[in-house]
Structure formats: C-alpha cells, structure tokens
C-alpha cells in the first residue's frame, strides 16, 4: 500500500524528511476535531487479496498513549464534504 496524492490534499506531511515517505493529506484547519485524511492505493496483488478476503489491517503507533478515533472508507465523499469543495472551486 502506498500513500497517493489526491486533488483535495492541502498538506505534504514529512516532505523533505529523508527518513520518512511524504504523506499527502487533507487537514481541515477549521474543524475542532482535527480531521486529517489521506489516500492509499494498493498494488494489484493487494487489491486482489482485498477483493477475495474483504479484509484490511491497520497499524498505528500509539507510543503507549490512548488510541485516537480512526475511520477507514473506500469513498472519500463519506469523509469529505462535496459542498465545501464545490464552493472552494467557485472562489
């Protein structure tokens, strides 16, 4: 699985940090919950495996702190507001 840039991304996390891979993200700076959304694309093998098993595994480094809420979805518009981005295009 690799992080993939997407049209709504507005931040490149860890850009120019050699020890990390750049992570394109959309960060809602106006939301009090601190939403951060990323896009991931699987290889052909990963997509086939998901197609047949329907399973996806997630690793989160918590550094022994409480886990923050997570949500995974295949439809970005279940996570992003279409109306918000349509109004941004008109500006």
Evaluate if residue 18 carries a pLDDT over 90. Answer: yes
25-45 core/surface letters (b: 16 or more CB in 10 A; e: else): bbeeeeeeeeeebbbeeeeee
Mean pLDDT of 62-71: 92
pLDDT of residue 89: 62
What's the mean per-residue pLDDT of the chain?
A: 90
State what percent of residues in the chain have pLDDT above 70.
92
- Tell me the pLDDT band of 3, cut-offs 50, 70 and 90: very high
Torsion sign, CA atoms 60, 65, 73, 5: negative
Rounded to two decimals, what is the model's pTM?
0.81
Evaluate if residue 85 carries a pLDDT over 70. Answer: yes
Evaluate if residue 23 carries a pLDDT over 80. Answer: yes
């Amino acid at each position: 699985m690799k992080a993939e840039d997407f049209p709504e991304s507005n931040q490149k996390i860890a850009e120019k940090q050699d020890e990390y891979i750049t992570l394109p993200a959309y960060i809602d700076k106006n939301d009090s919950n601190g939403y951060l959304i990323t896009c991931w694309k699987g290889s052909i093998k990963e997509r086939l495996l998901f197609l047949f098993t329907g399973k996806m595994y997630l690793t989160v480094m918590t550094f022994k702190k409480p886990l923050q809420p997570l949500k995974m979805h295949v439809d970005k518009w279940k996570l992003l507001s279409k109306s918000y981005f349509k109004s941004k295009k008109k500006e």
